[in-house]
Structure formats: C-alpha cells, structure tokens
Amino acid sequence: MASTVAAPTAVLGLGSATLASPKRATLLTSEFVRSPARARNPLTVCRASGGKYTCFERNWLRTDFNVIGFGLIGWIAPSSIPAIDGKSLTGLFFESIGAELAHFPIGPALTSPFWLWLITWHLGLFLCLTFGQIGFKGRTEEYF
C-alpha cells in the first residue's frame, strides 16, 4: 500500500496569508491612564512567597482584633435595645437558650422560637463584623 502525503494547502477564508505567532503585549495604554503600564503575569510573586506561585497573598484575611472587638460591641449595643415587645433581641436569644437548656438531652423543636432568635442574632453579628472589616481595612489602606 502506498500512502500519499498531502501538501499543505491554503484554508478557505484565510487565503494565502500565514498566521503569525501571537506577540506579547508589552505596553498597555488607555485614555484614562496617563502613563503606560507594563503587562505582567499576575501569578508571579516578587520573592514574597519563597518563589512559589500563589493567587493570593499569604495574609489575605488581614485579621485585626480591633475589628472583632468593635464589631462585637457594635452589634451587642443595638441588639440590647428593648424594641420587641419591651424585650431586646439579645435578651430573647439568651432566654431561649435557657429555655432549651432546661430540657437538655432533648434538642429544640423546629417550631421553637430559639431558631428565629439564633439566626437573627448571628446574621446581624456577621453582617456587623463583615462591614466592620470592610470599613476598617478600607480606611487603613486608604480606599476611602
């Protein structure tokens, strides 16, 4: 059996133009940026991680105990205002914990108000901590 080798032919639509290899962009320019910025690989690390490729910096969370302390105080203070039938959200949550601990081996029923106070109190706490982290770090890193 004889095999035939097909000669390379031009692809319809491309004509006889050759495809050049893509060149690397060296400068990025924009109407909004006055000075051109050099394109760089976002995965390379400038000797910060010991030569490893990382997508995030090591201390990406940048925890600060000021945020935790002020966030906790910032949530406990307004949730302790007696606004729900003369009782506070924190008081109702702690009362429901005590009522559920009264029959300890048995867990709370699905219809227990404990779940409402638990979810509401913790949702408010986590929102307060999240916005506190955004605000505190935004101020220290001069975003606003």
Q: What is the mean pLDDT of the chain?
A: 78
Asked whether the predicted pLDDT for residue 60 surpasses 80, the reply is no
Could you read off the pLDDT of 81-130 as tens digits, one per residue? 999 999 999 999 999 999 999 999 999 999 999 999 999 999 999 999 99
Separation of alpha carbons 115 and 66, rounded Å? 29
Judged by DSSP in three states, 98 sits in helix
Asked which of 69-78, 105-114, 132-141 is least confident by mean pLDDT, the reply is: 132-141
Separation of alpha carbons 25 and 106, rounded Å? 66
pLDDT level of residue 144 (50, 70, 90 thresholds): confident
Is there a contact between 56 and 68 (Cβ–Cβ < 8 Å)? no
Structure tokens at 57: 């910096």
Average pLDDT over residues 19-46: 57
Model pTM score:
0.57
Asked which of 15-24, 35-44, 90-99 is least confident by mean pLDDT, the reply is: 15-24
Handedness of CA 100, 102, 107, 111 (dihedral sign): negative
Judged by DSSP in three states, 93 sits in helix
